[in-house]
Amino acid sequence: MDGTALNEAVGGIVWLTGLSGAGKTTIAQAVYATLRAQGRRVELLDGDVIRTNLSKGLGFSKEDRDTNVRRVGFVCHLLARNGVVAIAAVISPYQTVRQEVRALGSPFVEVYVQAPLAVCEQRDVKGLYRRARAGLIQGFTGIDDPYEPPLAPDVVCCTDRETVAESVGKVLAAMAACGLG
């Protein structure tokens, strides 16, 4: 991509929401790698990483979760308006704040990364469900804290029924459909 093309690059936000273990990070990393290989400007904001720096010190109350999502959304918006595809992989359990991020005005693709709680719990990628069930973590999304599914997501990835490649293909298609392809 030459300088002119970079200047003309269309930025936007690809927002992956879903339960812990649903597959957000996996899909986000694969989409990131695909876009990188195409020479696109792309950045990945992963919830687990964000909570160790940008949102360090925040907890998991509704207020802190909302603050975390607003911060991620704000950074994504800044990147997007500079021609970057900002991919956010954050649980972002509350509909209203996800809507706020969309309303910032960047091209926005909402991806609902969906898997039944039982499947996420069985995967237990980080061992968090086991700890939540044992009472070692309070306020864990899906166990004793709410998750509000998106009302009108641009794409739904059913990760208990499709391969990672299929999920990635759906995200890329949804991006193309909203002019981010």
Query: Shortest approach of ligand ADP to residue 178 CB, angstroms?
Result: 21
Among residues 40, 150, 167, 171, which is the contact residue for ligand ADP, using CB under 6 A? 167
Binders of ligand ADP among residues 136 to 155 (CB under 6 A) are none
CA distance 140 to 42: 30
The Cα 119–Cα 134 span in angstroms is 18
Mark the segment that binds ligand ADP (CB under 6 A) among 19-27, 61-69, 97-105, 171-179: 19-27
Among the listed residues 114, 124, 109, 120, the one whose alpha carbon sits nearest the alpha carbon of residue 148:
114
Helix (H, G, I), strand (E, B) or coil at 17: strand
Beta carbon of residue 26, minimum distance to ligand ADP (angstroms, whole number): 3
Enclosing H/E stretch for 156: strand 155-158
Exactly one of 55, 92, 106, 167 is catalytic; which is it? Answer: 92
**How many CA atoms lie within 13 Å of 120's alpha carbon, on the beta-carbon side?**
21
- Tell me which of 25, 55, 68, 106 binds ligand ADP, using CB under 6 A: 25
**Amino acid of residue 180:** L
The binding track of 88-127 with respect to ligand ADP, each residue x by CB under 6 A or -, is: -x-----------------------x---------x-x--
Sole binder of ligand ADP in the list 23, 73, 93, 150 (CB under 6 A): 23
